Amino acid sequence: MFNALRPQVSSIIDSNKTPDARMQDICELLKAEIPHYDWVGFYFKNGDKRELKLGAYAGAPTDHTIIPYGKGICGQVAESNQNFVVPDVQAQDNYIACSITVKAEIVVPLFVNGENIGQIDIDSNTPDPFTKADETFLEFVNAEVAKIL
Ligand code: SME
């Protein structure tokens, strides 16, 4: 599944749409094609502020369009520069709930020239669905997106 999606991600990156439109297409592709991806979005550092701002996403609208560094899974990844896989969101103290249906989450930082400038965030309604294959694939997606930022 992930290997088949890689060329589709690259072809979106190679299109002549705006970067935001290409990220939107990627969110929609991943949500549509990966059964355990129920919400897919990109957050980016908001200017000089120590906070994240929601960019393109696919799935239900969220109230959490701004997330301070350190808060929630997303805010922790903004500081740690590391992938964060959460098999069970209810077991996390520092977690921001977006929907009661969400069971698990994965956040992978996005680097441009070695700097952590944002992240891709996936919510799943399936318990404990993420493996190394998700991490490797999402690292690939972020490396592709980094080319157009
Ligand atoms: N659950 C995230 C907040 C963002 S929503 O999942 C879209 C967190 O704890 O950072």
Q: Give pLDDT tens digits for 51-76.
A: 999 999 999 999 999 999 999 999 99
The three-point CA angle 140-144-147 to 5° equals 145
pLDDT tens digits along 61-119: 999 999 999 999 999 999 999 999 999 999 999 999 989 999 999 999 999 999 999 99
**Where in the sequence is the domain holding 54, given as residue range(s)?**
2-146
* Ligand 1 contacts CB of residue 96 (under 6 A): yes
Residue that has been written with the tokens 């921001």 in this structure: 96
Q: Is the pLDDT of residue 7 over 90?
A: yes
Smallest CA-to-CA distance from 119 within 146, 100, 93, 94 is with 146
**What mean pLDDT, rounded, does the chain reach?**
97
The number of distinct structural domains making up the chain is 1
Residue of 85, 88, 95, 102 to test ligand 1 pocket, by largest number of atoms within 8 Å of CB: 95
Q: Three-state SS for 129?
A: coil
What is the per-residue pLDDT for 98? 87
d(CA 110, CA 107): 10
Rg (CA), the chain: 14
CATH number, domain of 142, equals: 3.30.450.40
Residue nearest to atom 6 of ligand 1 (CA): 98
pLDDT tens digits along 119-131: 999 999 999 999 9
